[in-house]
Structure 1
Amino acid sequence: MKPRIAILGSCITRDLWPIRGGGAEFLLYISRTSFPSLFSPALAGFTPDDGLPGDLHQHEHAALVADLRKTALAKLVAYRPTHLIFDFIDERFDLLAADGALANVSGEMVRSGYMAQPALAAGRRLSRLSPACERLWMDGVAEFAAVVRATPLQEAMLIHHEARWATHQRAPDGSLSPITGVEIVGGQPAEIAPYNALLERQEAAFRSVMPPMARIDAGHHRVADTAHRWGLSPFHYVPEYYDEVRRQLDQLGLAEAFPRERPDAPSIPAA
């Protein structure tokens, strides 16, 4: 049986397909959300545009609307994946608390202009690095673990792609240098170390409550690529990183999930 792969995570996992031959259109890819946001009520009063707001692409807008309307979790369960891959790089955005609902303040949220809608404009922003946000995240993880055990997700192979922000970048000439001037979204500056420490706590908490899962770690290749197709970022890595993650997924029985290398593979914008 051909695997049905779902990703609850970010472009560091999704990019294994467009960067290495295509085929991302066959995945269920859930991004730009957060565990507390997944279990929040839908944001009352939110109205999506009929077209694409701002400069968003279709898949970016779909992910944003799914986060605001809280449709992603039901879609994931209904998909009945054979393999479910997690990474937490998207767990870097602040949360917006509005009228009892939570949503990710992602780049897509800011670019969409939706934050000017009254339902969102009245909200309160919670820093991702705040104790309150971390507590909400831990509660969301516990709820998600219960969902996995009580739904068809229990039949999936669970795979944890361990994630960190790279601290150094590699230029085309092979030279390495520290990454500076990092931003989260909309010019919001960020220091790498606190977010990596947060990821470490998140991963430990996740493993403590979830059923057993396989682990993928390509940390020895975790270097940012200045020539990356989506631009320089602490989580846009050198090609060796993706090759190593793909090799480890192959060892878990997912070799057939990757098509042959195709130089004409369709370009999918960064997520």
Structure 2
Amino acid sequence: MTSPKYSLLIVGGCVSRDTVDPLLGKSLELKRYVARQSFISAGTDATKLVPKVDLRSQFQRRMLEADLAGSLFRDVEENSEVDLVLWDLNIERLGAWQFDVDSFATDSGEFRRLENYSSITTGVPHIDFGEEDHFRIWKERFFQFKDLLQRNELVEKTLLLAPDWALVDETGETVGLFEAVKAGAYNAIYRRYWDFAEANGFEVLRMQDTVADSHHKWGPAPFHYTEDVYDVFRETIMGKLA
């Protein structure tokens, strides 16, 4: 059995991971997966504000602890000897909590499952995706991220996956009325962030008219796509590495 040819760092979420999953252990080796951590919380520290993280899933616990510690930049620095950095912005949709000037936490599903979630967030400002404060803070972190990648000669090796959220599934059915409305709104918001990344030197792989998979392994959602969508991304990824 041949070893994977290329090493990979993922900064993002299920869009990136679902894309490369069939390639792992074959063409690609995953060095690090920085998941469920928004740019808003990157480089900040909220660990003292959430002293106990009690989740059954070891993976979810690790991801939440990393987010509270704002580990994203450190994780990238420690895993910078890779052939490709794959990046998506799906987690940004959830926004973040701002505990103080230097303490943010992504409002992830894991964070919401904490027993003391309500007491922790009472009276705490929430930074909503697409709001001016969110975009302003995101841009500050963006340039930190870019500087880090530049120091490690990784900007040219970075690919931002930017598929629109799907409005329909493979049967032509709407992906839930509420989800479809939300998808349309989110697509408009995401484009502002994708445009900014592209204007500042990153390769952005966009796809419109995407289709959701009603039988996706993680369940139906506007960002759980058919294999046709992932196949286009895989082809571009392998072409970039070749």
Aligning the two structures, in what range does the TM-score lie when normalised by the shorter sequence? 0.7 to 0.9
What's the CA shift for 1:206? 1.3
Per-residue Cα deviation, 1:138-170 (whole angstroms, up to 9, x for no partner): 222122222222x32547611121222111112
Contact 2:9 2:85 in 1 (8 A): yes
Partners of 1:157 and 1:135 lie apart in 2 by 25
Q: What percent identity do the matched residue pairs reach? A: 22
Q: Which moved more, 1:236-245 or 1:108-117?
A: 108-117
**Residues 114, 32 of structure 1: alpha-carbon distance in 2 compared, 3 angstrom cutoff:** farther
Instruction: Tell me which of 207, 230, 242 is aligned to 1:242.
Output: 230
Identify the range of structure 1 (156-165 vs 223-232) with the bigger mean alpha-carbon deviation. 156-165
Q: What residue identity is the alignment partner of 2:57? A: H
Instruction: Please give the residue correspondences for 1:146-161 in structure 2 after superposition, counting only pairs within 5 Å.
Output: 146-149=147-150, 151-152=151-152, 154=154, 157-161=157-161
Matched, 1:162 2:162: yes
Within-5 A mapping of 1:175-186: 175-182=171-178
Residue 204 of structure 1: aligned partner: 195
* Greater RCO, CA 8 A, separation 6+: 1
Give me the TM-score of the superposition, normalised by structure 2: 0.85
1:191 is the counterpart of 2:189: no
Counterpart of 2:205 (choices 175, 196, 216) is 216
SS at match of 1:123: coil
State the one-letter code of the partner of 2:212.
A
The equivalent residue for 1:68 is 68
What does 1:29-68 align with in structure 2 at a 5 Å threshold?
Answer: 29-49=33-53, 52-53=54-55, 56-68=56-68
Change in CA separation of 1:11 and 1:26 when aligned onto 2, cut-off 3 Å: same
Evaluate the alpha carbon distance shift between residue 229 and residue 138 of structure 1 in structure 2; reply closer, same or farther with a 3 A threshold.
same
Instruction: Indicate the residue corresponding to 2:7 in structure 1.
Output: 4
Q: Which 10-residue stretch deviates more, 200-209 or 26-35?
A: 26-35
Q: 1:111 aligns with which of 103, 110, 113?
A: 113
Structure 2 gaps of 5+ residues are none
1:16 match: secondary structure: helix
- The secondary structure found in structure 2 opposite 1:201 is helix
Q: How large is the RMSD of aligned CA atoms in angstroms?
A: 2.6
The AA in structure 1 aligned to 2:223 is F
Give the structure 2 partner of residue 15 of structure 1: 18
Whether the aligned pair in 1 keeps the contact of 2:5 and 2:29 (CA below 8 Å) is no
- Give 5+ residue unaligned stretches, structure 1: 184-188, 255-271
Q: Does 1:89 align with 2:79?
A: no
Contact 1:84 1:156 in 2 (8 A): no
